[in-house]
Amino acid sequence: FVNDDGDIAVRPHGAATLPGQEIDLAKVVARASSAPATGGLGLPLPLLVRFPDVLRHRVEALNAAFRYAVSSTGYRSRYQGVYPVKCNQDRYVVEDIVDFGAPFGFGLEAGSKPELLLAMSCLAARGSPDAFLVCNGYKDLEYISLALVARTMGLNTVVVLEQEDELDIVVEASRRLGVRPVVGMRAKLRTKHAGHFGATSGEKGKFGLNAAEILSVVAKLKGLGMLDCLQLLHFHIGSQIPTTALLADGVGEAAQIYCELARLGAAMRVIDVGGGLGIDYDGTHSAETDMSVAYSLEEYAAAVVAAVGRVCDRKGVQHPVICSESGRALVSHHSVLVFEAFSASAPASNLDSATAYLLDELTDDCRGDYRNVMAAAVRGDFDTCAVYADQLKRRCAEQFKEGVLGLEHLAAVDGLCEIVARGMGVAERPRTYNVNLSVFTSIPDMWAIEQLFPIVPIQRLQERPNVDGILSDLTCDSDGKVDQFIGGRHSLPLHELPTHGTRGYYLGMFLGGAYQEALGGLHNLFGGPSVVRVSQSDGPHCFAVTRAAPGPSCADVLRAMHHEPEVMFEVLKQRTNDGATAAAIARAFGAMPYLSFDNEAVEMASSGMSSDSEGSA
Ligand code: PLP
């Protein structure tokens, strides 16, 4: 992952990437963030860098894995997957997946009305004609009607019943519209995934139909003469399925239900094994934590195909088309969030000959603790030393509150304790690096579910990092920090920040392409990052920026909370006669298309990045 310059190198085609095709991430950041006058795009950080070539690689790898599993086991049908748009609804991500997936008949899965609308329009515009559009989630009459109307437009929608009473709405909508539906059922499996992401699996899971409800739906459809409409069985036992053993267990159980439905007369065609194909966040390839899984893409596909084939063969049922709704595994790798460490806390305080005399001015109690600290340190008795050091600090703090000691005394005592701790080989406290990022906006799962993502400096990787740091974000919130890292570490090895020069110190957060963007919030009204889309090219730096967009302006995030930036600006403008001051305020708001300023203000306001700048480098 590191090139000769010590920068992170992105290999967009995985192992097939040739040495000359690697993209230097630091060069991408330099191009995106440097001033337009020097040929840059002038985008503020943090910066989300998307690599469509990585998406293509993931889509192709998933399909190749299933194709191989099908052909190598003599499975007598095919794989035809869908991408669950909830993992990342970004227009260009969805369009890329549909484009790259078209040769495989790859489709989309939607879980809400807006998701259904975007999936419909994307598949209508560029999808393969037989691609599935799987309609999951909570459904009302409008949602179901939309899904049925989509069938009249030639889209292959399947309405998956998550609750029994959704069937009544499907029947009503299909009568009203005169459209025969294709129906699926989500089964509530007994197989339970024990990890964090399996909370909705098992008999008590939130979603799906149990055995009695499945039978009741079959009976109702039969009574209505619509059993031929039931064609798909779906289940989802949770994200990050840890092992192929658990996977095969779940798929085997679902395949039994599938065969039962065929026996009961349904026109079954497709088994949809949901999501759950996991990725390796921590590099361990083990099932010990939620941070990794103990199988490869190929082993996942082989386990699914084998489990379905085995059950169907035993029951004499025709092999179904296998669909999966793999989201995390498709989009996690495609983007990197780059942010800057702009300052760091000073190195641990020190005590020198100029300040050591302050220790003699301590009260008798404190001097007693100080002597005990030193005596224990000389004996090499770490534990006693730590106890007296703590006591000394606590006593000094109390005396400071009473006004007995001054700030200089507190600093001298802190310095003494740091020196002793260092001398005894006890780790110094990590230093805090301030980063221009909101954890709540850009890495919400880190805060919400303690998910870990790999974080790495993107430059100077040929230089040994000599500081242990934690990251503190821009929000005024004590949870806005990163102090847990891959491998159980409580700090990250970092370099000293550059003290001069124009290059900043940038860190990359990897594998965050799934879920983070839509889950992120506006805490402290920090908007999302700037975004660039970077493709591999034959140019001198091996890359082309094919799309660039700044993150939301202050005006954008204020509008999201129902403020009216235009009105706010007018109010503030009343308070000044100075055009330059008004222009500076306008600049702070960022782009406000409906606002009419005087000429100077318009020019300066729009010199911020207000719209996508498309083009290639
Ligand atoms: N399908 C359904 C019904 C889901 O609820 C989810 C997410 O939890 C997925 C697919 C995507 O799962 P994953 O990201 O693990 O592939």
Rounded-to-integer distance, Cα 245 and Cα 243, Å? 5
Find the 83 Cα to ligand 1 centroid distance in Å. 9
DSSP assigned state of 498: P
Count Cβ neighbours within 10 Å for each residue of 490-513 and write b for 16 or more, e otherwise. ebbebbebeeeeeebbbbbbbbbb
**Which H helix or E strand runs over 557?**
helix 554-560
Q: Please give the pLDDT value at position 501.
A: 65
Assess whether the C-beta atom of 84 lies below 6 angstroms from ligand 1: yes
Going from N- to C-terminal start, the domains of the chain cover: 9-50+335-346+430-549, 85-330, 356-423, 564-605
- Closest ligand 1 atom to 84 CA: 10
Q: CA distances (Å), 374 to each of 369, 397, 417, 479, 525, in order? A: 9, 19, 10, 36, 49
Probe target for ligand 1 pocket from 87, 159, 325, with the most ligand atoms within 8 Å of CB = 325
Which of 3.20.20.10, 3.30.70.560, 3.40.640.10, 2.40.10.10 would CATH assign to domain 85-330? 3.20.20.10
- Catalytic amino acids? 476
Which CB contacts under 8 angstroms, 24+ apart, belong to 369-372?
Answer: 369/395, 370/413, 370/416
Q: Please give the pLDDT value at position 600.
A: 33
Probe target for ligand 1 pocket from 58, 133, 239, 272, with the most ligand atoms within 8 Å of CB = 239
Find the 59 Cα to ligand 1 centroid distance in Å. 16
Q: Which residues of the chain have pLDDT under 50?
A: 594-617
Rounded-to-integer distance, Cα 234 and Cα 258, Å? 9
Please report the ipTM that was assigned to this predicted complex: 0.99
Taking CA atoms only, the protein residue closest to ligand 1 atom 12 is: 275
What is the Cα 99 distance to its own chain's centre? 22
**Cβ distance 158 to 184 under 8 Å?**
yes
Alpha helices, DSSP H, located in 324-405: 328-331, 364-379, 382-401
Alpha helices, DSSP H, located in 380-499: 382-401, 407-423, 439-442, 444-448
Probe target for ligand 1 pocket from 62, 82, 86, 240, with the most ligand atoms within 8 Å of CB = 86
User: Which CATH architecture fits 9-50+335-346+430-549?
Assistant: Beta Barrel (2.40)
**Which H helix or E strand runs over 482?**
strand 481-482
Rounded-to-integer distance, Cα 430 and Cα 422, Å? 12
Q: Please give the pLDDT value at position 15.
A: 82
Q: Please give the pLDDT value at position 429.
A: 74
* Fold agreement between 9-50+335-346+430-549 and 85-330: no
Q: Please give the pLDDT value at position 500.
A: 73
Q: Please give the pLDDT value at position 584.
A: 94
**Cβ distance 282 to 291 under 8 Å?**
yes
Q: In what order do the strands lie in the sheet with 82-84?
A: 82-84, 107-110, 132-135, 156-161, 183-186, 230-234, 270-272, 321-323
Q: Please give the pLDDT value at position 503.
A: 76
Assess whether the C-beta atom of 326 lies below 6 angstroms from ligand 1: yes
State the amino acid at position 102 in one-letter form.
Answer: A
Q: Please give the pLDDT value at position 614.
A: 30
Query: What pTM was computed for the model?
Result: 0.89
Assess whether the C-beta atom of 277 lies below 6 angstroms from ligand 1: yes
Give the residues across from 160 on adjacent strands.
184
Assess whether the C-beta atom of 276 lies below 6 angstroms from ligand 1: yes
